[in-house]
């Protein structure tokens, strides 16, 4: 017989706060609200995706990356929507939060049907600075890539 380890859980209040954070964070991203979205990361945040050899580092680099992506999507007349679900939140000993969730990205071109663009797993570390949650690190993996 095996022994299962039970991970420590966060309170319902913290879980709801994390859900609200992601709702606002993703709406800023999808709305192309570049500066406000970048402010949801720590100054020294890292953002790792499988299509880049190195993670994006720092709020300013994140800002530049989103600005470029927003311009490219506008030129293509494409709207992206991110949906985070199956959100699991666990406390770390240092007070940060470890979050793992599924992320679906939908893409809609003007006058066309929406399509499922990507299916991902998103693993974040959230920290509290100035009384609010911020992303300290993010690692995204895609189901279609090794």
Please spell the DSSP secondary structure of 96-127, one letter per residue: -EEEEEEEEEEEEETTS--EEEEEEEEEEEEE
Q: What is the distance of C-alpha 114 from the center of its chain?
A: 21
Is there a domain that residue 2 lies in?
Answer: no
Instruction: Give the separation between CA 56 and CA 47, rounded to whole angstroms.
Output: 5
3-class state of residue 82 by DSSP: strand
Instruction: Give residue 34's domain range.
Output: 12-142
pLDDT at 1: 44
Is there a domain that residue 96 lies in?
Answer: yes
Q: 57 is written with which tokens?
A: 């580092």
Is there a domain that residue 29 lies in?
Answer: yes
The number of distinct structural domains making up the chain is 1
Nearest by Cα to 83 from 98, 102, 97: 102
pLDDT tens sequence across 65-85: 999 999 999 999 999 999 999
pLDDT at 146: 84
CATH number of the domain at 59, please: 3.10.450.50
| pLDDT band for position 5 (cuts 50, 70, 90) | low
pLDDT tens sequence across 41-64: 999 999 999 999 999 999 999 999
pLDDT at 115: 98
Q: 136 is written with which tokens?
A: 């300290």
């Amino acid at each position: 017989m095996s022994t299962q380890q039970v991970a420590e859980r966060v309170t319902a209040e913290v879980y709801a706060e994390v859900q609200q954070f992601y709702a606002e964070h993703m709406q800023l991203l999808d709305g192309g609200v570049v500066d406000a979205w970048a402010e949801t990361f720590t100054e020294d945040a890292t953002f790792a995706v499988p299509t880049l050899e190195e993670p994006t580092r720092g709020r300013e680099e994140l800002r530049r990356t989103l600005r470029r992506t927003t311009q490219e999507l506008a030129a293509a007349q494409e709207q992206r929507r991110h949906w985070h679900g199956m959100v699991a939140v666990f406390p770390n000993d240092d007070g940060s939060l470890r979050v793992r969730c599924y992320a679906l990205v939908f893409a809609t071109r003007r006058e066309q049907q929406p399509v499922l663009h990507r299916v991902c797993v998103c693993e974040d570390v959230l920290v509290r600075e100035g009384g609010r949650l911020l992303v300290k690190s993010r690692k995204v993996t895609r189901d279609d890539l090794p």
